[in-house]
Structure 1
């Protein structure tokens, strides 16, 4: 194995800085929408289907970004792709603040999804490259990258509900400006980080990726994408419908984010399991359990446990897929393989929000739709158990 580069003297610090890309692109760019959704739906007279569409169009952008991520990385390199895509996510947040026009908001959500996918695929490949400089700690180091969205969820959860409460109904656009400022500040370290030249994309080539050996795994990841997004899109509305005010909404959302900080320690041994889809099965099963708890009511304790259990597994599911790629493919194939996983995930989360929104409009119950979400997560856990190691 090649000796570690001097740039990897502090790999944990570099990966934590790199995690700011999914912090901005996913933790804030995608998930903060759920915090603003109830006020936007009331102020702009949206149906649940229209509200779900905004996350569907975001996921569609994410899917397109995943499809072209390996080409973008090949052309511009890993580090530049991550940095420019994160700046594009900040721009998308600003666009959400300037108008309630449905078309403009849709464009902003598409841009956020497209840019987040490029940043996530590039960031995941770059994090895996940096983690390889410390093979004995690689899984732990890699899991630090996937804690990034939790930082965004936690920080937005501590800000958005209280901004809405302070400025009153119809202040959703002020929240988007607050999110823009928050994301902009988080992007600065990413722009200044000294990633080594060899990490920026040298040796990265597009490779052929065969779907059949991992079809079961891709299907499971598709179900995760479809199932988790419903929970993350509509749970704040569920908390509010149950009588939860700004403090309850902030606490619930922040608990999901806090879970990300313990993820690297909780799942370190599980992520080290080089046994096909077993690690994903275990983690996704716990994720499904967390998503199913709101079925039993609006109790604050029950919702808190749901947020913690869902959150601690949610971030690790994505990490388990990158660990799967790292165990089963050579380094030069990582961007292509991670992109393929992200595409399956992207298709699922594209369909999930609008389908769940339509179900909610049809039956008039968020609980029923959330049950469907939990069932998809459970099915994904079962399927991934049948995935075996990919033969070279």
Structure 2
């Protein structure tokens, strides 16, 4: 839980609440802001592909902990950079580190939980993202009220991300004490059927959610009506994300993973559209609640589906699914930033993102990842 709070909730998503201060201080265009966000996702994609390497040298735990430290360092480093190339490089490296933490950390944690007969606690692991988002939102709000500039915001949230690393070292034991299944390291003869289709659905999801996830706070600050809610919207995203993995895990168990995945995409599409078309306090709150309440649930359902498709090679399955997700994330902020600069409003990028989520919902119900099946016990 703490690992994802540090690497994902803070390292990856702190950019959203800090972005408005950066735009004002540095006179960043929306296109450049989107480019910086996409650099993180390019690194995320590269990290996911690297984590899938069948002969990754060293132990998974060493890569996991090293990536956790690197992610915290690059987050703090954003406060010391002063140029677009520096921002791009730091976000690129940070994105790579976050993918290693997600892929290798999730494989480690889920292996330990499975070995201990406590697989149902996997929802707590993914809830760390919501915890990190809520913590970074509260930190940024408090610091801005105290007069901190954008540089100090990055330094403090980066320091917070680093502070939890010793706890993670203590909580996640070495692999010798809880070895992964011997089949994990075995080379796969071929990619399990259905992983490519699942990656496509996850790519559409990545494109759809990331537009609002990148620009929500900036859009709220620019709205005279909703501006008063700026301190609350990103905190609400994090708080809604905390129980969402468990809730969507239950839905996957009760109704089948594909139906749950489709339902979550439909709800998220509603929230994304509301964020762009209904720029009022009610619209902002609805967008924040539906974004936070679905995006980690969809991520967890995708991981559960990948595990079911490739139970003997989870690391590779996680990495391929994450890679599809990463491709969608790369395109989303750049395209949204260009549309924001061109149209001056958030409606066009929001509708495009909502359309991608609707397509993901359609594909998942029409056979995307059909090898996963629809049985009630495949997500838990």
Q: Report the TM-score when normalising by structure 2.
A: 0.90
- State the alpha-carbon separation in 1 of the partners of residues 189 and 251 from structure 2: 29
List per-residue Cα deviations over 1:143-195 (Å, max 9, x = no partner): 22111111111001111133224326xx1001001111211222221122252
- State the alpha-carbon separation in 1 of the partners of residues 282 and 20 from structure 2: 22
User: C-alpha displacement at 1:198, in angstroms?
Assistant: 5.1
User: C-alpha displacement at 1:328, in angstroms?
Assistant: 2.4
Name 1:10's counterpart in structure 2. Answer: none
Name 1:221's counterpart in structure 2. Answer: 202
Aligned partners of 2:40 and 2:95 also within 8 Å: yes
2:180 is the alignment partner of 1:162: no
Aligned partners of 1:96 and 1:176 also within 8 Å: yes
Name 1:121's counterpart in structure 2. Answer: 103
2:302 is the alignment partner of 1:321: yes
- Match of residue 231, structure 1, among 170, 191, 212: 212
- Distance of aligned partners of 1:250 and 1:290 in 2 relative to their CA distance in 1, 3 Å threshold: same
- Match of residue 79, structure 2, among 97, 117, 120: 97
2:112 is the alignment partner of 1:130: yes
Name 1:14's counterpart in structure 2. Answer: none
- Give ranges in structure 2 of 5+ residues lacking alignment: 374-380
User: C-alpha displacement at 1:246, in angstroms?
Assistant: 7.9
User: C-alpha displacement at 1:38, in angstroms?
Assistant: 1.5
- Match of residue 333, structure 2, among 310, 329, 353: 353
- Distance of aligned partners of 1:245 and 1:179 in 2 relative to their CA distance in 1, 3 Å threshold: farther
Name 2:344's counterpart in structure 1. Answer: 364
Residues 373-384 of structure 1: pairs in structure 2 closer than 5 A: 373-384=353-364
User: C-alpha displacement at 1:285, in angstroms?
Assistant: 1.9
- State the alpha-carbon separation in 2 of the partners of residues 142 and 316 from structure 1: 12
2:43 is the alignment partner of 1:61: yes
- Distance of aligned partners of 1:200 and 1:111 in 2 relative to their CA distance in 1, 3 Å threshold: farther
Q: Secondary structure at the match of 1:197?
A: coil
Residues 170-209 of structure 1: pairs in structure 2 closer than 5 A: 171-195=149-173, 196-197=175-176, 199=178, 203=182, 204-205=184-185, 206-209=187-190
Q: Secondary structure at the match of 2:12?
A: coil
Residues 44-55 of structure 1: pairs in structure 2 closer than 5 A: 44-55=26-37
Name 2:284's counterpart in structure 1. Answer: 303
User: C-alpha displacement at 1:298, in angstroms?
Assistant: 2.6
- Distance of aligned partners of 1:273 and 1:122 in 2 relative to their CA distance in 1, 3 Å threshold: farther
Aligned partners of 1:81 and 1:118 also within 8 Å: yes
- Match of residue 21, structure 2, among 26, 34, 39: 39
Aligned partners of 1:78 and 1:201 also within 8 Å: no
Name 1:6's counterpart in structure 2. Answer: none
- Distance of aligned partners of 1:65 and 1:274 in 2 relative to their CA distance in 1, 3 Å threshold: farther
More displaced 10-residue stretch of structure 1: 279-288 or 89-98: 279-288
Q: Secondary structure at the match of 1:36?
A: helix
Aligned partners of 1:78 and 1:199 also within 8 Å: no
More displaced 10-residue stretch of structure 1: 143-152 or 279-288: 279-288
User: C-alpha displacement at 1:383, in angstroms?
Assistant: 1.0
Q: CA RMSD in A?
A: 2.3
Q: Secondary structure at the match of 2:164?
A: helix
Aligned partners of 1:281 and 1:382 also within 8 Å: yes
Name 2:378's counterpart in structure 1. Answer: none
